[in-house]
Amino acid sequence: MAEKLRDLSHPIDVPLLDATVAAFYGTGSKEERTAADQILRELQNNPDMWLQVVHILQNSQNLNTKFFALQVLEGVIKYRWNALPVEQRDGIKNYISDVIVQLSMNEASFRRERLYVNKLNIILIQVLKHEWPARWKSFIPDLIKAAKSSETICENCMTILKLLSEEVFDFSRGEMTQQKIKDLKHSLNSEFQLIHELCLYVLSSASQRTELVRTTLATLHAFLSWIPVGYIFQSPLLDILLKIFPVVSYRNLTLQCLTEVASLQFGDVYVMQYCNMYNFFMVQLQTILPPGTNIPDLYANGSGEAQAFIQNLALFFTAFFKSHIRVLESTLENRNALLMGLEYLISISYVDDTEVFKVCLDYWNLLVLELFEAQHNPATTASMMGLQMVDGLDSPVSQRRQLYSGPFSKLRMLMICRMAKPEEVLIVEDENGNIVRETMKDNDVLVQYKIMRETLIYLAHLDHEDTEQQMLTKLSKQLNGEDWSWNNLNTLCWAIGSISGSMVEEQENRFLVMVIRDLLNLCEITKGKDNKAVIASNIMYVVGQYPKFLRAHWKFLKTVVNKLFEFMHETHPGVQDMACDTFLKIVQKCKRKFVQIQLGETEPFVSELLSGLPTTVADLEPHQIHTFYESVGQMIQAECDEQKRDEYLQRLMDLPNKKWVEIIGQARQSVDFLKDQDVIRTVLNILQTNTSVAISLGPYFFTQIKCIFLDMLNVYRMYSELISNSIAGGGPFASRTSYVKLLRSVKRETLKLIETFIDKTEDQPDLGKQFVQAMMDPVLGDYARNVPDARESEVLSLFATIINKCKATMMEDVPRIFEAVFECTLEMITKNFEDYPEHRLKFFSLLRAIATHCFRALFSLSSQQLKLVVDSINWAFRHTERNIAETGLNLLLEMLKNFQVSEFCNQFYRTYYLTIEQEIFAVLTDTFHKPGFKLHVLVLQHLFCLVDSGSLTEPLWDVSTVPLPYPNNMVFVRDYTIKLLGTSFPNMTTTEVTQFVDGLFDSRKDLPTFKDRIRDFL
């Protein structure tokens, strides 16, 4: 059966092909599907298969078979069209056109064969990209003529025109050359009059066929962004659109067209037309949605079509206002229509739908920012508008403020009611209505919060009194129970927290005292653990947002911190976490206050805190204790007196250090003590506590790390041996047991602690450098000796950090680092593109650190080792994981530039120039590597500029094997590149390849042109 299909010397057996396609899509056995797939692939790859397409389309009744045939044809049109003889090209062109016309001629066949016709339309567009306009000048007139012969043909012609517009204006980049795109755009523009007349003819004749009108509107929507403007404003088109806007079946499509028109900007040219358009639109809109309609309810209970209408309405208003709001502010009649439009938009902003809200919010943010800037810099705004500055009530700025004061007051309430959750709030309501700790951050919500916060701050600056009044009124309704709900309290408190810093100090102090007093009262009078947890989270959030106030009022700050300590004993989910996080946030902003003796106190607060520390942290989980320790570390870091600082650090670390000394003492008596799982967990916890404090203290952590460093390395070495023995005895599976995972956590935390300390030493790299020698065997040697599954990727990032910090002082150590980690890591990561993902990224970060700070150390590598480096970089940029490929390409660029100015320039480039060029062209022409395009171009530009830069003083070619000497490197590279691309792309002629390569050399100094040439080639 398969052999019969493969023989294409006579017409293919269509029923047999139908059966094969049916087997591929059918419910038969896996073997049948695989066999069918194999045959179809072979047929698709056969260069003569396309000659059977017409025969298949004429004789098959199976839609999937027809699609298969059209897929084959599409491949030929895309990649081999220009190589076909003229009569074959014309044959395909005419056949496709005839079939489309035949099937679209009457309603029944058009509806029945709709999917097939759609695919044929796409094929026709692929043909047009090659043939039109040069070899098919009459295409548009022919199409318009056919459209007038029947309504169904007209509908399909509209679809073809829409596809053509999208292909040329939306999807052309990367598909066609710049020149081709230019030609097609010019042709569409110059022939648009015929298309315009056809659209008007359909819309004004009010055809009885709804589908035809809808398709015409969709086509028009695709055109409106680029057609010559006269066709919009100097023809009846806009009036027709506004007239048919209220018709239910056309409403959404018409609104999309009007939105496209609203987005266009022409300076002062069509001001009157835009005013008339808006006013007529508002009259029509009131017949569909009378003012005062509850739009959020309508949306919640409406059909998909009704919901789309409300979303499109938001898009229309925001597009129109963005481009033309200043025009609407100019006369009384327009101002009333503008205010009504803003009223609609505020109502739409309450719709419970994220996408609709995003559209509205983005616009509110723009409008409020514009008014805020005008008020705070009126002279600039006035001169931009060509206005004379007049102070006082009649100035343009204060007139605009008055105009918008009503809508903006409503907008403040909208922002307060819908404020998004800030990052600091960890307590949320789950789907069952319980208050729980948030498990995952929602990035969309965080972005929304930032925009809402910014908008509300501008609104607060525009009218402080109204902002404060609305917030306090809403808060009093929480207290008297009139408006009490978790959501209402949350959004209100998030809004109050978000406007921190927008009022003058005196007003802000008064406002905050009232808010906190009310919230504390609310906490007292409200019953129920969940309710109290919600109120507690809001108190913590609000106080955390006003550090300036806290810094100025010590008694209040102390009360707040003690309240947080109380919350640290409250076991309701999320409360302790939030108390610890808020404490850290407040300490970061007010740290100096805690190390000074305040009025009425006998010692600094930090000292008092350290005395009561065991009690404060008694009910906290380990991860919460770590945050607490980080906070106290921040306080200690603010102490300038070295003696006091060391004393505070010693008191802070007293608990973990006593435990550490006890464990090490027991281990000295019996090493087996360290194997107990509870002991391992305690060791891990102690190390994590140290890391938290190191984050805060930076170089001042030196006295603490010095005490535990050597014992820590001994524990590291011992746990490493335990891991290796477990894996050696239990095979790779052993690395996934909970025991081995726990041991590895200790190793990782040890590395993390050292890396954190070295990273935070800021401008004192010598502090970290003194630990390097001690780590050479326990850490680096251990990495090399271990089996792959037991190697910690953190070793690579630790040494990358050390080199980034200590820079050239690490030069002598690079060969040892190289020896320990290089070859063994490469073996792990080059077997495939999936295993050991952490090692991959960190390996290349280490390599980049060496290339950046210790580049000369590469010169001392053997040629074999240097080849390994270059191979690993080539391997990195072939990787499909974007970060790894980018790291590899950036590293390659740095190395190429560094070698160019070194004494090894000739030697390096003679060995690797051609390999690198070949590898870069390979990834450049592979669609999987599209994201790396800009860096690929930079590497090629570097290589092409290098050959005549004067840096190379010897030939790049091997003089002993190339018989004809080249006059210079440039001629050699040009010749090599033409041969390389000629063999890689046999579908291109020698002339085309030569033209491309010459173009690259001509434009090598001009990056944009160089990049465009490569894009056209692709």
Q: What is the pLDDT of residue 206?
A: 58
What is the model's pLDDT at position 430? 66
Cis amide leading into 815 (omega within 30):
no
Q: Tell me the domains of the chain and their CATH numbers.
A: 1-84 (no CATH), 86-203 (no CATH), 368-376+403-414+442-478+488-498 (no CATH), 532-639 (1.20.1440.250)
Query: ∠ at Cα 806 (803, 809), nearest 5°?
Result: 100
Q: Where are the alpha helices (DSSP H) in 46-85?
A: 53-59, 63-80
Q: Which residues contact 121 (CB under 8 A, 6 or more apart)?
A: 100, 156, 159, 160, 163
**What is the mean predicted confidence (pLDDT) over 492-504?**
93
pLDDT reported for residue 673:
92
Summarize pLDDT for 102-145 with one digit per residue, the tens: 999 988 989 999 999 999 999 999 999 888 888 889 999 999 99
User: In which residue are the tokens 């102690």 written?
Assistant: 686
Mean of the pLDDT values across residues 837-864? 90
Residues 6 or more apart from 446 whose CB is under 8 A from it? 420, 422, 423
CA 162 to chain centre: 30
Q: Residue 683's pLDDT is what?
A: 97
Q: How many CB atoms lie within 10 A of CB 437?
A: 15
Per-residue pLDDT, 379 = 54
Burial 610-649 (b: 16+ CB within 10 A, else e): beebeebbeebeeebbbbbbbbbbbbbbbbeeeeebbebb
pLDDT digits (tens, 9 = 90+) for 418-476: 999 888 776 677 666 676 666 666 788 889 999 999 999 999 999 999 999 999 999 99
Give the span between the Cα atoms of 1004 and 62, in whole angstroms: 53
Distance of CA 839 to the CA centre of its chain: 24
Largest CA distance in the chain: 105
For residue 384 the two structure tokens come to: 């931009």
DSSP letter, residue 384: H
Query: When comparing pLDDT for 536 and 632, which is higher?
Result: 632
pLDDT in the model for residue 766: 80
pLDDT at res. 758: 93
274 vs 496: CA distance, rounded Å = 40
Q: Is the pLDDT at 531 greater than 70, yes or no?
A: yes
Rounded-to-integer distance, Cα 137 and Cα 132, Å = 6
Calculate ∠ Cα 880-941-1018, nearest 5°.
Answer: 55
**For residue 814, what is the enclosing H or E element?**
helix 814-829
pLDDT in tens, 24-38: 888 778 888 898 899
Q: Which long-range contacts (CB under 8 A, 24 or more apart) does 766-769 make?
A: 767/699, 767/702, 768/802, 768/805, 768/806, 769/802, 769/806, 769/809, 769/810
Measured in whole angstroms, the distance separating CA 187 from the mean position of its chain's CA atoms is 37
Contacts of 613 (CB under 8 A, 6+ apart): 632, 651, 652, 655
Q: What is the pLDDT of residue 391?
A: 46
Q: What is the Cβ-side half-sphere exposure of residue 473, based on CA atoms within 13 angstroms?
A: 10
Instruction: Look up residue 570 and give its two tokens.
Output: 């409250």
Pick the most confident of 569-583, 635-649, 717-731: 635-649
Q: Identify which of 190-199, 500-509, 610-619 has the greatest average pLDDT.
A: 610-619
In the structure, what pLDDT confidence band is assigned to residue 333 with cuts at 50, 70 and 90? confident
User: CA 301, 304, 310: angle at the middle one, nearest 5?
Assistant: 75
Query: Taking the C-alpha atoms of 243, 244, 245 and 250 in order, what is their torsion angle to the nearest 10 degrees?
Result: -170
Average pLDDT, the chain: 90
Mean predicted confidence (pLDDT) in 178-182: 79
Would the pLDDT of 390 be above 60?
no
**One-letter-per-residue 3-state SS of 948-963:** CCCCCCCCCCCCCCCC
Please provide the size of the chain in residues.
1018
Q: How far is CA 185 from CA 127, 167, 640, 975, in A?
A: 16, 10, 69, 36
CA-CA-CA-CA torsion sign (540, 542, 544, 547): negative
Joined together, the tokens standing for residue 125 give 């567009």
Task: Give the residue among 912, 893, 894 at the shortest CA–CA distance from 850.
Answer: 894
Rounded distance, CA 307 to CA 296, Å? 10
Residue labelled with tokens 């007292």: 524
Helix (H) or strand (E) holding 110: helix 107-112
**Distance in angstroms (rounded) separating the CA atoms of residues 455 and 411:** 10
- Phi-psi region at 580: left, alpha or beta (left = phi > 0; alpha = psi -120 to 50): alpha
Q: What is the DSSP letter of 206?
A: T
On the question of pLDDT at 384 being above 50, the answer is no
Query: Measured between alpha carbons, how far is 48 from 950 in angstroms, rounded to an integer?
Result: 51
Q: What is the dihedral of CA 436, 440, 443, 447, to 10 degrees?
A: 30
The helix/strand/coil state of 435 is strand
* pTM, to two decimals: 0.79
pLDDT at 389: 41
- The per-residue pLDDT for 437 is 65
**Segment holding 588, helix H or strand E:** helix 575-595
| pLDDT score for 985 | 82
Determine which of 1-5, 167-171, 478-482 has the lowest per-residue pLDDT on average.
Answer: 1-5
Is there a contact between 8 and 44 (Cβ–Cβ < 8 Å)? no
Q: Give strand ranges (E) for 517-638.
A: none
pLDDT computed for residue 880 by the predictor:
83
Which DSSP symbol is given to 652? H
CA 251 – CA 222 distance, rounded (Å): 17
Structure tokens at 78: 């895309």
The enclosing H or E element of 429 equals: strand 427-429
Between 588 and 389, whose confidence is greater? Answer: 588
Is pLDDT of 725 > 90? Answer: no
- Report, as an integer, the average pLDDT of 625-652: 97
Neighbours of 995 (CB within 10 A): 15
Share of the chain above pLDDT 70, in %: 96
